[in-house]
Amino acid sequence: MNLANVFTILRAVLAILVPFYLIQQGLWPRIIALILFTAAMVSDHLDGRIARKYNEITALGKIIDPIADKMLTLGLFSTFSYLGLFSWWFVIIIAIREITVTAARMYFLAKKTAIPAARSGKIKTILQFASLGAAFLHLIAIDHIPAIAQYTYFFMHSLLIIAVILTIYSGLVFFRNLMKA
């Protein structure tokens, strides 16, 4: 166990707490959810950075990092869909890509072959996080700043559509690269 793995485990715990607070009514539970989501995003950045900087990349980290990421993203996409902000088909497309790519990575990792993330996958993750952040803002705007809700709705869905397109594209890139390898 090292510091990078601690951050990853923290992200997995936050992946459970964020949806819990998000489904609560009121401004403060949703602000708490947004703060916890932000902490989870920061932990995602820190765990990889620390592991690479101090050469603390571990087998455990290679396994739990993608699981924590998927817990966070899929949990939140599902929660926002449950709350009526996202259509289920967005969530299904994202879930299929995330689960199949992660399963393929785990399969090859078990065979002692690590498959690095492509640039398109990293950009996809950033856009998924951005669309989730915009969904937080829209949810808060709906209840507490209705004058800007139409703008946050447009912003949220624009980011979501771009994230879904990049999710599909990065999945295709991943499997194309896998076939080449």
Give the pLDDT score at 59. Answer: 81
User: What pTM was estimated for this model as a whole?
Assistant: 0.92
Domains of the chain, residue spans: 3-180
- Contact 159/127 with Cβ under 8 angstroms? yes
The string of pLDDT tens digits covering residues 139-171 is 999 989 999 999 999 999 999 999 999 999 999
Give the pLDDT score at 36. Answer: 97
- Contact 15/71 with Cβ under 8 angstroms? yes
Give the pLDDT score at 34. Answer: 96
What parts of the chain have a pLDDT lower than 70? none
Reported CATH class of domain 3-180: mainly alpha
Q: Which residues contact 85 (CB under 8 A, 6 or more apart)?
A: 135, 138, 139, 156
3-state secondary structure the chain: CCHHHHHHHHHHHHHHHHHHHHCCCCHHHHHHHHHHHHHHHHHHHHHHHHHHHCCCCCHHHHHHHHHHHHHHHHHHHHHHHHCCCCCHHHHHHHHHHHHHHHHHHHHHHHCCCCCCCCHHHHHHHHHHHHHHHHHHHHHHHHHHCHHHHHHHHHHHHHHHHHHHHHHHHHHHHHHHHHHHC
Give the pLDDT score at 177. Answer: 87
Which two three-digit tokens encode residue 21?
A: 């607070």
Give the pLDDT score at 161. Answer: 96
